[in-house]
Amino acid sequence: MNASEPTTADFRTFSDPVKWIDRKNVIIDTTMLRDDDGWWYRVSKDSEITIERTRNPYAVAREVLRTDDPNEWSFVGTLTDLLGNGRYSEHYLEGPELFVFNDDDVATVNGRPMRYGLMCDQYAEGKGYTPFRSADLGSRDPLDWAAADDIDFGRLKKRHGAILPITEAEYEAIEDTFAN
């Protein structure tokens, strides 16, 4: 497979499979997001909750390394390192999910607009999702990252979910359908 080609264009025919993450330790629960500047970000549960970035999402990551090559996956950091909390390690969290906040939901923390969200399931403690915010997913500056303690997921425990962007019309249709 050419690194720039998709593995399928029609979900009927597929290229040969390739390894996407090839590491010594186990990798599970990977989520990805592309920002407005063309960077791809990936968060996975491995020996930590690890954040990486690249401009080439088809690059194969062998080990977690920091590199200046934009066409390889480059290590940004771990939640433990960025937020200084050992309870954000792989021993407590899994099921990461990256997303972009709606403009009206962007909070400002440390004087920075936090456009990106990351949720991780607190599986070890059976608590469901815990949310985080980031002003810049590629930043190693702890001021660009924060726990989102003000987000309330309600009484029902949320686990291993996904964020699905919808249009205003779709939102209104959902509201109309379930308002009663």
Cα–Cα dist 122/89, whole Å = 10
Verdict on whether the full-model pTM lies above 0.85: no
Given a cut of 80, whether residue 180 has pLDDT beyond it is no
Q: What confidence tier does 6 reach under pLDDT thresholds 50, 70, 90?
A: low
Tallying the residues shown for the chain, one arrives at 180
Q: Whose structure tokens read 């990805």?
A: 32
User: Could you tell me the residue ranges of all domains in the chain?
Assistant: 28-174
Given a cut of 90, whether residue 20 has pLDDT beyond it is no
Q: What confidence tier does 46 reach under pLDDT thresholds 50, 70, 90?
A: confident
93 phi, psi to nearest 5 deg: -120, 150
Q: For residue 141, what pLDDT is reported?
A: 94
Nearby residues of 8 by Cβ (< 8 Å), 6 or more positions away:
14, 15
Report the relative pairing of strands 129-134 and 116-121 from DSSP bridges: antiparallel
Where are the strands (E) in 79-169, listed by range?
Answer: 94-100, 107-109, 112-114, 116-121, 129-134, 145-147
pLDDT per residue as tens digits for the range 127-161: 889 999 999 999 999 999 999 989 888 887 888 87
pLDDT per residue as tens digits for the range 159-170: 887 888 888 899
